[in-house]
Amino acid sequence: MKTKYFGYEFRPAVTLFAHKICESLGLDPVEIEWSEYTQTACINQHTMILANVRDDAVLTLGDLQRYTGFVVHELLHRKYTLFGVNHRDQYVRTLHNAIEDAWIEHKAIQSNLTGNIGELLGSLIDNMTTEGLAQVSDWSNPQQYPYVLAVYARPHAKIKVPMAEGLAPIFEEATRRTHLCKSSKDTLAVAVWVYAQLSTLPTEQPEPVQPEGDEQGEGDAPTTGGSGSPSPDQTQGQGKVATAPQRGTEAMEVEPTNKAPENAHSHGSFSQASAMQKNAYHVTTRKRFKLGA
């Protein structure tokens, strides 16, 4: 197998893989559009749109595996997702997206739809989580809860994210319900249930308890890493109490971003997400993690 591809070789390789996966999944062949003007991935019943790469770009086998992961994920939406099932609230929609993604991937792996589907989808979510761990500073922020759930509900995800106190019982039950779902209507019902449970959480963090002995050097000192800096658990919000999302809280997106490798993308970077949604595409958006959130 080749280890490096020029862009003009890369696109046919991904397209051929997509056609083979369609055949394996019992789907009609999908048309792939390589867009120079988007860094999103999306699909409807007929067309998949992927971020284009330059003809002279040099891409690796890892890049090919990442793109094929996107292709499998999007084709699973085509196989299982009811595109018209939605919710008016952005936060509930994002919870639904998280649950729908976990449901379609778990269903496909349990059905062993392709020989290495677990490996492909596991790598896809783990790469995404690695990126998130490097960018998100506070996982106790309610904006991040849908993504935390998206990871928690995927048994094939090997890399986990910190979880605020109080989320585990909700997400454990949500995962159980998700694996029992039969359709996108069921996953939406799970999302609505999760939002109702999150709404019962405290509205703000409790005041920290002052440890006994208020002189310097007494009481429980913050844990630090070898360099003397706060531990990852403290800086990323683990150990904090989960709080309820407030009205108008905008959740960070949860789907994998199909962004061309650095120095490989074609010109143009504006997002066509709004136009795609109007044409009933399932959109994978660029906005996922918020620095400092």
pLDDT digits (tens, 9 = 90+) for 165-218: 999 999 999 999 999 999 999 999 999 999 999 999 998 877 766 656 554 443
d(CA 18, CA 134): 31
Residue 284 has what pLDDT?
42
d(CA 71, CA 284): 12
d(CA 91, CA 248): 8
pLDDT in tens, 221-279: 334 344 443 334 434 555 689 999 988 888 877 765 556 665 565 543 323 333 334 34
User: Who contacts 102 (Cβ-Cβ below 8 Å, separation ≥6)?
Assistant: 149, 150, 153, 154, 175, 178
- Residue 194 and residue 146 in contact, taking contact as beta carbons nearer than 8 Å: no
- Residue 148 and residue 166 in contact, taking contact as beta carbons nearer than 8 Å: no
d(CA 95, CA 85): 13
Q: Residue 281: is its pLDDT beyond 90? A: no
In 59-161, which residue ranges form alpha helices assigned H by DSSP? 61-80, 90-110, 117-135, 145-152
pLDDT in tens, 208-222: 666 565 544 434 433
Please state, as a whole number, how many other Cβ atoms lie within 10 Å of the Cβ of residue 265: 18
Q: Residue 156: is its pLDDT beyond 60? A: yes
d(CA 36, CA 117): 28
Q: Residue 36: is its pLDDT beyond 90? A: no
Q: Which among 174, 42, 166 has a CA at the least distance from the CA of 99?
A: 174
Coil, strand, or helix at residue 38? coil
Q: For the chain, give the number of residues.
A: 293
Q: State the DSSP string of 202-230.
A: -SSPPPPPPPS--STT-SPPPPB-TTSSB
Residue 66 has what pLDDT?
87
Residue 201 has what pLDDT?
95
CA distances from 276 to 38, 88, 145, 247, 284 (A): 11, 17, 26, 27, 10
d(CA 203, CA 244): 5
Using CB atoms within 10 A of its CB, is residue 75 exposed (0-12), middle (13-18) or buried (19+)?
buried
Residue 43 has what pLDDT?
80
Average pLDDT rounded to a whole number, residues 98-105: 96
Please state, as a whole number, how many other Cβ atoms lie within 10 Å of the Cβ of residue 235: 15
Q: Answer yes or no: pTM beyond 0.95.
A: no
- Residue 120 and residue 105 in contact, taking contact as beta carbons nearer than 8 Å: no
Average pLDDT rounded to a whole number, residues 79-89: 93
d(CA 108, CA 96): 18
- Residue 293 and residue 138 in contact, taking contact as beta carbons nearer than 8 Å: yes
- Residue 107 and residue 184 in contact, taking contact as beta carbons nearer than 8 Å: no
